[in-house]
Amino acid sequence: MSWLETELREQPAALSRLLERQSARAAELASIFRRDDVRYVLIASRGSSSNAARYAQYVIGRANRVPVMFATPSLYTIYEQPPRLDGAVVLGISQSGASPDVRAVIAEARRQGRPTIALTNDETSPLAGEAEHVLALEAGEEKAVAATKTYVNSLGAIAMLFAAIGEDRVARAELERVPAVLEDQVELSFATAPALSQFEDVVGATVVARGVNYGTAYEIALKIRELSGLMVEAYSPADLMHGPIAAIRPGWPVILVAPTGPAHESVAELAPALAARQARLLAVSDVPELLLRSNTPLPLVPGVPEWLSPLAAVVPGQVTAMRLAQLRRLDVDSPSGLRKITLTR
């Protein structure tokens, strides 16, 4: 078994460990977001961590009704003209904690006297040393280059903060049930993984999602891109319809990520237009109607609250990305040209 598959299967246990060890810490950090001088949240991140940050834009934005936005690290590094951060709580998300540009944003925020929090899997990392506060991801060592359990635990850490900021006992109880759901999802995704031989010669794909799963679309696209080398892009339904849909030709794979919830209809209603273009539809969903309309159903465990669905919805994408790479006889643990830790400025 590859390291990638091993770590993919470890995700339920990793999430359970995070909830057990870091819940009290998340409750402590929640008070920072409730400070009277906090008017927005600024997130610095790269790669899979930025896809987790897209999730934070929705759930943290809902928690205390403030804007959540992405930092522009180049202003801090190559241009050396960082913006004023009055009113910000600054969150750095980096699984390794080694990214110099993420660290630079955190360092500048501290220089300006703003509260800083690092979400990282390495409590001894440069990012952890720079930030005022640390929320450890508790994922354990991740040997495969492609992130799996560190990504899911990044989502889990953000979900913990959401529940803690609002002192929401219902949300907390729902989150406590997710490791068991995730275990079921991993088993379901492996048990129902379709033969992908029809995609052996494709050169790319499109992934579509909206709302809390917008980041899921980006993460699935990234996983397929880095493992198989295919050109895969992620869109919201609105962005796809504003031009890019013109590039979808017969046989082009389109993955619709549409679990039950408020965002489902706006994603699912794309199916007829995509079918008219003879796209090959893959559906990540727990809604039977959409699964039946797709060429390749990728079922989700039913009954997951939408705000937590990204933790499960990414799993079919991870399995699909791994299988596509294996179909091409590629090394899923060490994709060509990639390293586990990428240092960018």
The answer to whether residue 264 is domain-embedded is yes
Same domain, 304 and 268: yes
Q: What is the residue range of 132's domain?
A: 3-176
The answer to whether residue 338 is domain-embedded is no
State residue 340's pLDDT score: 56
Same domain, 105 and 221: no
Residues 140-172: tens digit of each pLDDT? 999 998 999 999 999 999 999 999 999 999 999
Q: Which stretches of the chain score pLDDT less than 70?
A: 338-345
The answer to whether residue 341 is domain-embedded is no
- Structure token pair of residue 44: 């610095």
Among the candidates 143, 176, 209, a domain finishes at 176
State residue 121's pLDDT score: 97
State residue 131's pLDDT score: 98
Q: Are 32 and 117 in contact (CB under 8 A)?
A: yes
Q: How many domains is the chain built from?
A: 2
Same domain, 212 and 141: no
Same domain, 139 and 35: yes
Question: Packing angle between helix 178-191 and helix 149-165, nearest 10 degrees?
Answer: 150
Same domain, 171 and 231: no
CA 275 to mean position of chain CA atoms:
27
Same domain, 172 and 211: no
The answer to whether residue 339 is domain-embedded is no
User: What is the three-state SS of 299-329?
Assistant: ECCCCCCHHHHHHHHHHHHHHHHHHHHHHCC
Same domain, 142 and 228: no
The answer to whether residue 332 is domain-embedded is no
- Burial (CB < 10 A; 0-12, 13-18, 19+), residue 208, is buried
Same domain, 271 and 126: no
Same domain, 151 and 198: no
| Sheet with 296-299, edge to edge strand ranges | 231-235, 204-208, 253-257, 280-285, 296-299
Strand bridging mode 88-93 / 40-45: parallel
Same domain, 137 and 199: no
Same domain, 155 and 25: yes
Same domain, 90 and 212: no
- Structure token pair of residue 89: 């709580």
The CATH number that applies at residue 158 is: 3.40.50.10490
